[in-house]
Amino acid sequence: MVQPVLKWAGGKRQLLDEIYSRFPADYEHYHEPFFGGGAVFFDLEPDGGTINDTNPRLVNFYEVVRDHPEDLISRLRGFNDPEANPDPEQRFANENWKGKDVEQYFYQQRARFNRRAYGDEEWPATDEDRIEEAALLLYLNRTCYNGLYRENSSGGFNVPIGRYANPEWVQADRIRAASHALADTDIRNEDFAYILDAVREGDLVYLDPPYQPMSSTANFAEYSADGFGREDQERLLETVQELDEKGVCFVLSNSGVMYEMYVDAGFHVDKEGATRSINSDETARGEVDEIIATNVPEDAREEKGQTSIADF
């Protein structure tokens, strides 16, 4: 069992047993089209298969973890405390992209990370650049407010500094373990529909999309600037219907408001409760209704789930 390297909103630590209990007893390759923090993948440590995410910075991170773990660890060890003064030898020591004063090391590194969104040059363009961006992502993830990942409409990471006594951003053991788990995995940066060409009969697909909001004020799709709307949810349903026709097993988690859509499609659907601990609004944390939908008949499932992995 490998622990996820990143903190990530919507992680499935609390629902692992419920998810596994819907898995088929036997399957070939495992695929995960909405990877995020990868809690299920890293707990399973499957051999081969694919993972995918539409966030290019997240995909770059996992490629670097897989291919350059020691270089990544070495670079992470070079970062300073987030509340330290900016490094005068690095860019953005005085002002950020918008001309605002930079007074802490965290905000200097956040500005450097946002070169992908705001810079005119192509970045990251080299292996060294990709390692630097991956290191910045993990550093910010472990030192920003509540471990939240959020982008503005321009694609800029905009989460403020967190409140930590001794933040640990190197995560060397987790990086090495995750690199081993990802060694034979095909990492994609595509629309989720790629899965229709990647799977074969007998494979298993676990899908955990950005959630359809439970209310007009809830927005589980803010983790990237692109979002994931109702039309995407409808395309996703069509995709799992095609997977079913191909003889591919799927298990899908989503918000409770999607219950009727998957019941009407003829799939096995149950409601579960999950605790949300990563949210910019502290009052919005707590238990929310989720569904788990699958095409795996009860008599073809694993007899029991596995033990949930520990919290961060």
Pair type for strands 30-32 and 50-52: parallel
Q: Over 70: is that where the pLDDT of 8 sits?
A: yes
52, 56, 62, 67 alpha-carbon torsion, rounded to 10°? 110
pLDDT for the residue 219: 43
Structurally, the chain folds into a number of domains equal to 2
pLDDT for the residue 278: 44
- Show which of 137, 170, 203 is a domain's final residue: 170
Specify if 239 maps to a domain: yes
Specify if 3 maps to a domain: no
Same domain, 147 and 75: yes
Pair type for strands 249-255 and 286-294: antiparallel
Question: Which residue range is the domain that position 91 belongs to?
Answer: 62-170
Distance CA 301, CA 279 (A): 33
- What rounded mean pLDDT belongs to the chain? 89
Which CATH number belongs to the domain containing residue 248 in this structure?
3.40.50.150
The contacts of residue 216 (CB under 8 Å, 6+ apart) are none
Same domain, 144 and 216: no
pLDDT for the residue 239: 98
- Show which of 138, 170, 202 is a domain's final residue: 170
26-78 per-position pLDDT tens digit: 999 999 999 999 999 999 999 999 999 999 999 999 999 999 999 999 999 99
- Show which of 119, 141, 170 is a domain's final residue: 170
Mean pLDDT of 216-241: 71
10-27 per-position pLDDT tens digit: 667 678 999 999 999 999
Residue 288 — left, alpha, or beta (φ > 0 → left; ψ -120 to 50 → alpha)?
A: beta
Same domain, 85 and 25: no
Respond yes or no on whether the N-terminal peptide bond of residue 213 is cis (omega within 30° of 0). no
Specify if 183 maps to a domain: no
Specify if 113 maps to a domain: yes
The contacts of residue 218 (CB under 8 Å, 6+ apart) are 284
pLDDT for the residue 288: 58
- For CA atoms 199, 205, 209, 214, the dihedral sign is positive
Same domain, 69 and 114: yes
Which CATH number belongs to the domain containing residue 73 in this structure?
1.10.1020.10
Specify if 142 maps to a domain: yes
